[in-house]
Structure 1
Amino acid sequence: MSVTEINICKTIARFGILAFFCFGILARCASVGTPQGGPRDSLPPKVVMMTPAFGTTNFKDKRITIQFNEYVQLKDQQKEFFTSPFMKKKPTLMLRGRGIQIDLKEDLDSNQTYSLNFGKSVVDNNEGNPYTGLRYVFSTGDHIDSLLMSGYTTDAMTTDTVGNVYILFYDAKTDSIPQYDSTLLKSKPIAVGKSFPNGIFIAENLKPIDYRIYALEDNNGNLEYEPGVDRVAFLDSTYNPLNQPGFDIWYDTTRRYMQADPQVMMRMFMDKPFRRQTYTGSKRTHGNRIVLTFTAPHPDIKELSFEGIDPGKIVTEYGNSKRDTMELWFDSRSEDLPDTLRGKLIYMKHDSLFRLQPDTQLLKLGWRAPVEKRKEEKKKKEDDLPEPNPFKVRVAGGTTLNPEKNIVFEFDYPLTGVDSAAMSLLKLGEGDQTTPVGLTFRQDTLKLRKWTLAAPWEADQKYRLLIPAGVFKNTNGESNDTLRSEFTIESPEKYATLVLNIQGKTPESEYVVQVISPQGSVLKEVAHLKTGSHTLQYIDVGTVKIRFIEDLNGNGRWDTGSLVERRQPERVGMYVDDNNSEEITTKENWELVFDVDMNRIFGPITMESMTAKINRDNEARLKAIAKKRAEDAANQKKQHNSGGGMGMGSMGGMGSMIGR
């Protein structure tokens, strides 16, 4: 496309927006009110006058008024209203008669085009119909900047749409990038746009210059970037609106806001925050359990000791995914520990200059058993009744087992001893015939109280698991009663099978495949896939999608980006069939074969590929709406019918392992 053609397309697009806007300004109503008994008012308010006029140049006023054809209200203005560029002191908005009064609270930059963007904050007084997309534009110079850019904001990991995101434009000449990018933290954008709820944005009133473009999800509403709180995105190159391809703009009558074909894609990610490392506190939640909390993950502990307690008797576990909380379990019964534990913690703490320095904290933690528990123990002792075994374990599963998931055990306390050789796993044959089966029992590397029992399972075979008393011993001095269970290995014929013939970008390229539900939950994940044929069994019957991660560093997981280091997040792509659909229908005993070309999935991002994705998402949205309406209609019919009953279920399998 030539420069002339690009300018023509942009001129048409620009006048399309202005024509739509001016239609709202010039329209009039003969009667403001609705006759009693008439139809409900569904029309938004209409602008009848702006003072100073829309598009004023050499602007020097401090007050702007916008008059409507009816009384209006302001709704969610803190969330909806913003200025381009941002102002340190946000203008104040007040209702005045049938209009809005806007007072500017700071001096304006010279030769700058400004826009006041109201979003959906202006609604009519009676029915709350919003005037979507109301803008007021003026310039402190002698002309209005008038170029446009469009784009699309998505989540880099899930590929889902991210709406209501600020698009920030910085002058590439003024805001050059040093070794580390601190643009969002130190500089002010010279133009701002915002994406609609469906992720599309149309940034207006841009200059014909090179921009560095960022996207910011302002979760705290302070118009400032906070790593670890706000998702962010950036484009690797600079972009001049004058040199971008032309695009179509139209009004979406369903969503009731403008839409456009996107020129760029902003892949939003959550950057890892930098936090000062500081000890924030401790608590003793049980007699033999202490929790230490810090402001940053992975505290560097130089010494941690308690009076009268052998350090080898302390089991350490991180209590959350952020790894800023340490759980200490003492290998001793609660009643054998003193009411007050005294200890010393030496760790590396950030000082005011962000330098790590040793810091010492003296610990003093008290604990007493709850009064009710002491009374119960005293009563049981007086009655001379045998106490139930307090040892607890939760076992995932039932009467059938998916062999790829194995058997997962979760304990209340960390284990200090496991006699796995005493466990017995038998494969049951005809009659009384049994065959011993070897098993492994491994601890999770992150969750120390989680263990997995695995074995060479055979489909459609029945097994018996016996765990004798005393096999498990925990830090509270407790041990298990005898646990036994019988279960059957599920047949792959009750599931679907996916065969992926992968053609990688290179023979060494690695990928992670995820089979996900239509709602986005991960049903199966397999890492380190390269060029070749790969079979995925035990796929749930129904509708699934296949998501791929371009695993550039080969660590078997998706890695987020870094704004400071200007490192983009690893790319994620969906398998799409020839009908531009992501959804795959699976049935029992079906084997589905897919040829997957990674050069296609992870090819260049173009307007065509973005438009195709937007169309897929829109079709899925409309399909979900139609399904919901059908379900609501069916439920309304059922409301006229009565009946039903209650049934009794049975318990068994691994989920309720019997101890005798």
Structure 2
Amino acid sequence: MSTTETKIYKAIVRWALFASLAVGLLARCASQAAPRGGPRDTLPPKVVAMTPAFGTTNFKDKRIYIEFDEYVQLKDQQKEFYTSPFMVKKPSVALRGRGIQIDLKEDLDSNRTYALNFGQSVADNNEGNPYTGLRYVFSTGDRIDSMLMSGYTVDAQRGDTVGNVFILFYEAASDSVAKYLTPEYDSVVYKLRPYSVGRSFPNGIFIAENLRPIDYRIYALEDNNGNQTYEPGADRIAFLDSTCNPLTQPGFEMWYDTTRRYMQADPQVQMRMFKEEAARRQTLTGSSRPLGNKVLLTFSSPHPQIEELSFEGIDSTAVVTEYMASKRDSMVLWFKADVDELPDTLKGRLIYRKHDSVGVLRPDTQQLRLAWRSAVKKDKKKDEDENAAPEPNPFQVKVAGGKSINPEKNIVFEFAYPLVRIDSASIRLEHIEGEDKAVPVDVTFRQDTLAIRKWTLRAPWVADEKYRLTIPAGAFENTSGQSNDTLRSEFTIESPDKFATLVLNVQGETPESEYIVQVVSPEGRLIKEQAHVRTGTTTLRYVDVGTVKIRIIRDDNRNGRWDTGSLLERRQPERVEFFVDDAGSEEIVTKENWELVFDVDMQRIFAPVTMEKMMEKIERDDLIRLREIAKKRAENAKNKGEHHHSSGMSGMSGMGGMGAIGGMMR
């Protein structure tokens, strides 16, 4: 579409909207009560007058009154009502007669178009039917800005819709924007108020109105705290890499969605929302001793620089350090000693680099005093009683698995305390080939590189075959000096015939390009993941039977995980897309013993986002949404026609789900 055609098309759309609003304003209908016994009122209130009039130019008033054809109420005003542009002092909105009165609390900028957006905050007084999309527009200059833009707000990692997001427009050519925006650093959102503001609907579509035909820098803000300011770590944010001018954007269609009851549009741009790590000053935020031989230290910022950490009377080699997350902002210290051997108060010293008042990291010394006293004291008399029942072994471990084992997941052990000794040679795994024949199998027992209390037992498993695992008493010893009792278990290796297999013939964008392929449920639950995927064949076995999707992350830095973006550094989050089959569907139906082969062209999947591509995605999501609605309605109708017999059933819960290996505690 040419620039001229775009101007004409948008002009028609704008006049159509204005005409529909004018009809609503001129329609002064008398308020009539519904006859007794009549149908329930489902219509929203109607605007009968606005003072000053809608679209007033050279506006100088401080008070606005909007009159309706019936009494109204205000609902969720703080969440629904906003101004464009944002005002430092929010206008007050109050009920007056059959209308609402708005009082402006600050002086307005000259030659500026303003809009008061009420969302769904205004509803009729009797039935609570909301007036969706009520707006009051005026200008302090001699004209009303009238350009439109549309777009779509989505979560950058999951691809889900993000609704009720503010869309912020900044004049790209202004000196202030140039001052706070460079190719390497962006603080515009922190320093400036936007020139104009829009908001996305619950389904992620937005239609920004009252724009000028100029270049804008566009951002999207999920304002979780309702303060109309961006807070890293709390709010999601998005930004476009280049400027956008409403006049030169492709034309788009708009329509009224009768199901959702608000306007819809073809999106011109896509805003990929991400949550970045909050830039916090580094400091020690907490120190505690939850167990006698366990100390927890937490820091305000990732990767603290620790220069010294010592405790009086305790050798540094007798302390095991565990980081609770990859950011290393929380750490657990495990002491290799019996609780009774440690003092009631641990005295220590921590020297780490802490931010000073001007944000410079400098060495800081923190004295630690960590008290702990056991709430349970040993009964010496009971200990001396030879006939007393022995106390249960305190050694604890959780083992993932059951009577059947997935050979790709192996057997994962999670210990309550870090291990200090392992007799891996004593672990015996046997392949049961008959009633009287068991063949020893070599095993490896390896610690997780990130979670030090997790260990995995691996072996050359054979599908559909039985195995016997024996771990003798004393094979494991933890930091508390506790050791395990004997474990014996028999289990079967799951057959791939009970699962589906996905074979992906991957064609990367370049020979060096790497991707992360994820198999997820329709709700987004991660089922399987394969990192470092390049051009070639990737086979995903043991895929759950049912409906799944293939989510693909373009791993730009090749670290095997999705990385979020940074507003200050103007770095976009790594792009995530879903594989779409030849039938145009994201959903893949899998069945037992099926092998599904797909050609995955990353060049096509990660092609530039166009309006057509966004609309295809939205239509696919709508079809799924409508199908789920129909399914729920059918289930409700079926349930209404059936009798529910619940007596005597509540106590019939089985003990399944905890197999011979899964759930082993001691």
Per-residue deviation, 1:648:
4.8
For residues 386 and 73 of structure 1, the distance between their equivalents in structure 2, rounded to whole angstroms, comes to: 70
The equivalent of 1:558 in structure 2 is 562
CA deviations on 1:67-98 (whole Å, 9 max, x unpaired) are: 01111111111111110000000101010011
Aligned ranges 1:350-365 → 2 under 5 Å: 350-365=355-370
* In structure 1, C-alpha distance between the alignment counterparts of 2:404 and 2:380, rounded to whole Å: 39
Q: CA deviation at 1:633?
A: 2.5
Q: Which of the numbers 475, 480, 485 marks the counterpart of 1:481?
A: 485
| Greater displacement, 254-263 / 549-558 | 549-558
Q: What secondary structure does 2:4 align onto? A: helix
Q: TM-score normalized by structure 1?
A: 0.97
Aligned residues of 1:284 and 1:365 also touching (Cα < 8 A): yes
* CA distance in 2: counterparts of 1:576 and 1:316, whole angstroms: 45
Q: Partners of 1:377 and 1:124 in 2: how far apart?
A: 75
Is 1:303 equivalent to 2:308 in the alignment? yes
CA distance in 2, matches of 1:347, 1:225: 30
Distance change >3 Å, CA 144–CA 376, structure 1 → 2: farther
Tell me, yes or no, if the aligned pair for 2:354 and 2:361 is still in contact at 8 Å.
Answer: yes
CA contact (8 A) 1:13 1:247 kept: no
Correspondence for 1:59: 59
SS in 1 for 2:247: helix
1:654 matched residue in structure 2: 661
Question: Does the aligned pair in 1 maintain the 2:31–2:70 contact within 8 Å?
Answer: no
Q: For residue 421 of structure 2, what is the amino acid of its counterpart?
A: G
Tell me, what secondary structure is at the counterpart of 1:654? Answer: coil
Summarize deviations over 1:136-161 as a string: whole Å, max 9, x none.
00000000000000000001111110
When residues 478 and 98 of structure 1 are mapped into structure 2, their CA distance, relative to the original with a 3 A threshold, is same
Indicate the RMSD between aligned Cα atoms, in angstroms: 1.6
Residue 378 of structure 1, CA deviation: 6.1
Cα shift at 1:170: 0.6
Match of 1:510 among 493, 510, 514: 514
1:283 aligns with 2:291: no
Deviates more, 1:375-384 or 1:17-26: 375-384
1:220 matched to 2:225: yes
Structure-2 separation of matches of 1:658 and 1:125: 60
Q: Could you tell me the TM-score, scaled by structure 2's length? A: 0.96
Partners of 1:158 and 1:647 in 2: how far apart?
A: 35
Q: Deviations over 1:461-491 (max 9, x none)?
A: 1111111111111111100011111110011
- Alignment partner for residue 530 of structure 1, among 534, 542, 548? 534
Distance 2:194 2:443 in 1: 61
Opposite residue 312 of structure 1, the aligned amino acid is: T
Mapped to 1, the partners of 2:282 and 2:39 lie a distance apart of 62
Q: Is the 8 A contact 1:343 1:363 kept in 2?
A: yes
2:397–2:664 CA contact under 8 A, matched in 1: no
In structure 1, the residue matched to 2:38 is 38
Would the aligned equivalents of 2:62 and 2:104 in 1 still touch at CA under 8 Å? yes
Please tell me the residue identity of whatever aligns with 1:435.
V
CA distance in structure 2 between the aligned counterparts of 1:282 and 1:658, rounded to whole angstroms: 29
Give the Cα separation in 1 of the matches to 2:553 and 2:111: 46
Contact (CA 8 Å) 1:293, 1:325: kept in 2 or not? yes
Contact 2:469–2:488 (Cα < 8 Å) also in 1: yes
| Letter of the 2:626 counterpart | L
Give 1:433 shift: 1.4
Could you say if the C-alpha distance between residues 414 and 642 of structure 1 is closer, same or farther in structure 2, counting changes exceeding 3 Å?
closer
Instruction: Determine if contact 1:484/1:658 at 8 Å carries over to the other structure.
Output: no
Aligned to 1:426: 430
Alpha-carbon offset, residue 278 of structure 1: 0.8
| Residues 219 and 238 in structure 2, CA contact (< 8 A), matched pair in contact too | yes
Quote the offset at 1:376 in angstroms.
6.4
Contact 1:485 1:657 in 2 (8 A): no
> How has the CA–CA distance of structure 1 residues 619 and 308 changed in structure 2, closer, same or farther, with 3 Å as cutoff?
same
Aligned-partner SS, 1:246: coil
Structure 2 residue aligned with 1:374: 377
Q: Does 1:409 pair with 2:416?
A: no
Equivalent runs, 1:144-159 vs 2, <5 Å:
144-159=144-159
- Distance in 1 of aligned mates of 2:506 and 2:373: 60
Return the alpha-carbon distance in structure 2 between the equivalents of residues 362 and 597 of structure 1.
Answer: 58
Q: How far is 1:454 from its partner?
A: 1.2
1:448 Cα offset (Å): 1.4
What does residue 209 of structure 2 align with?
Answer: 204
Equivalent-residue separation in structure 2 for 1:25 and 1:9 (angstroms) = 25
CA distance in 2, matches of 1:96, 1:380: 79
Q: Which amino acid aligns with 1:148?
A: L
Task: Answer whether contact 1:462 1:489 (CA < 8 A) is retained.
Answer: yes
- Residue identity matched to 1:653: A
Deviates more, 1:326-335 or 1:142-151: 326-335
State whether residues 396 and 665 of structure 2, in contact with CA within 8 Å, keep that contact through their aligned partners in structure 1.
no
Q: 556, 569, 575: which is aligned to 1:571? A: 575
Alpha-carbon distance between aligned partners in 1 of 2:536 and 2:468, rounded to the nearest angstrom: 38
More divergent stretch after superposition (538-547 vs 622-631): 622-631
Unaligned runs of 5+ in 2: none
Match of 1:546 in 2: 550
Which residue type is aligned with residue 61 of structure 2? D
CA distance in 2, matches of 1:657, 1:121: 55
Whether the 8 Å CA contact 1:349–1:359 is kept in 2: the answer is: yes
| 1:168 CA drift (Å) | 0.5
Q: Which residue of 1 aligns with 2:336?
A: 331
